[in-house]
Each structure stands twice: as C-alpha cells, then as structure tokens.
Amino acid sequence: MDTGTSVDAHDKRPQQQVRTAGRHIGLLTNIPMAAFHAASYERVVERVFKELLPWRAARPLGRHELIPFSFYVLSCMPLDSKTQRDLMSIDSALQRLKTILSLMLGCRYYCCSRCGRHVCRRDNIFSMSDDGPSALYVNPSNLITEMFTVRDTVSFATAQLRPSSTEFSWFPGYSWCCSVCISCSNHIGWIFESTDGQSAPQQFFGLVQSKVIPDFAFVSPQAMAAAQANQPAPTATAAATAATAAETSD
C-alpha cells in the first residue's frame, strides 16, 4: 500500500517504532498494519497543515512528500538561526515535523531578543507573500533582512520613528517607518501603512527574525520536565522533542 509519504534514509528508528506498534495493534484488531503506518504520518502532517492555514501561505504545500514538507514548514516558521539549525540537524523528517508542531503549539509570544519584552502573539502572524510569513528582503544597500509579517503587535510594545517614507518600499502601495522596542529601543522592524486607503490590510508590521524571537517560556511544563530528565540544560528544541509524543496524540 502506498502511504503517500517519502522518508529519508535516516528515518529508521521512527519507522521501526511504527512497525512494532502496528504489529501489536494487528494482533488485537483487524486494522491492517499498512493503514496504521499511513495514519501515523498523515495525522502529524494534517495537524501541522492546520497550524499553517491561518498564515495564508499560498504556495502549494507538498504534504505527500514528508522530507520537502518538513523543510518547507521550517522555512515558514519565524525562528532564530540557532533553533533553525537544531531542527535541521534532526535526522528524521517525521521527528522534525513533530518537533516543529510542538514548538508551534508551545510558543504563544515572540519577544525582543535584547530585553525579552513581548512584541507580538504567534496567532497574529500572517503571509504577505506567496512564500509564507517569513522571507528574505534586500534594501538598496544590498543588505539582506530575514523578516516575518504580523497583523499587529502587543499594545505598548513598540514605538515608531516617524516620518514615514514610500521610497524603496518592499510592499508596493505601502509606506514604512522604523519600529523599535518600547523598553530598550532595539530596532526590531518596520510598520507598513497603506498609502491609498484601499490596500488590505491597512497596516501591518515586518519584524526582523534575529531581533524578535520565540518565547519558549510557554512550552508546556511537562515538556520541560521530560527534557530535564535527560540533560541538565535542555534547549527549546530538545524540550519540544520530548513532548511530541504526548502532544501529537491529543
């Protein structure tokens, strides 16, 4: 039976675990092992896809190719470079997706990288391009900025350095001005405002990924406890990995 997934050569351990569980289920029920194998992948993929829907990522998602899909989801997520590297280093595409899902479910806020003040909620992330909410932008000085877009920021979290300008705007029909953290004056991005009054949305923020990072303080205590049982100082990625089995079975 074609399970509709493509798994890399390093995915031996998750496949073996699925096969073992499938044999046990097959002894107790009349569910074919192949059906169990397909469902275990599809359930994770569907949950990740559901989390992506509010971001309005218009690019076709290769949900039936597990490896490309896992890296596509990773490219969409606004993450700091260290967390991105941690996720990319995971050998298993399925485990990578499970960890990403745990981070999605566990992180509610993004905060200033300098002072830790909450800047925006994760559910305010949306896409202004077909590549998803996160993309690379180049200014006239050839400086590259990795930025993600949000509908709004937390109240009193940012201050705008006006006046606005329409020169070299990354989004035609929008003016821009710099946005800084209200607590530490860290330059965290820009606010973009419609110049014709007809563009939708009327305004939004573009936040620099290295300046506004996920607040993993909201990863579940169960995840942290499970991770700490294995190593003294777990990273956010390690904590999320430890929680994937519980969270994906909800």
**Residue 191 above 60 pLDDT?**
yes
How confident is the model over 211-246, as pLDDT tens digits?
999 887 545 445 544 443 443 333 444 444 444 444
**Percent share of the chain, pLDDT over 90:** 33
CB 149 within 8 A of CB 128: yes
pLDDT at residue 233, as a whole number: 35
Q: Note if the bond before 201 is cis, omega within 30 degrees.
A: yes
Q: Closest Cα partner for 193 from 231, 143, 237, 151?
A: 151
Minimum mean pLDDT among 21-25, 113-117, 118-122: which range? Answer: 21-25
How confident is the model over 151-179, as pLDDT tens digits?
999 999 999 999 999 999 999 999 999 99
pLDDT at residue 99, as a whole number: 87
Angle subtended at Cα 83 by Cα 114 and Cα 215, rounded to the nearest 5 degrees = 45
pLDDT at residue 64, as a whole number: 59
Residues 6 or more apart whose CB falls under 8 angstroms from that of 225 comprise: none
Which H or E run contains 134? strand 134-138
Alpha carbon distances (Å) from 169 to 2, 113, 126, 152, 194: 47, 25, 19, 19, 11
pLDDT at residue 244, as a whole number: 42
Interatomic CA distance for residues 119 and 107, integer angstroms: 13
- Assign 14 a pLDDT band (cuts: 50, 70, 90): very low
Average pLDDT value for residue range 92-107: 85
Mean pLDDT taken over the chain: 75
pLDDT at residue 195, as a whole number: 93
Residue with tokens 């993450």: 79
Q: Closest Cα partner for 66 from 102, 88, 89, 95?
A: 95
Average pLDDT value for residue range 202-219: 85
58/153: higher pLDDT: 153
pLDDT at residue 8, as a whole number: 43
Minimum mean pLDDT among 16-25, 107-116, 118-127, 129-138: which range? Answer: 16-25
200/151: higher pLDDT: 151
pLDDT at residue 200, as a whole number: 85
Alpha carbon distances (Å) from 121 to 108, 112, 126, 178, 226: 6, 12, 11, 20, 26
pLDDT at residue 107, as a whole number: 84
pLDDT at residue 206, as a whole number: 96
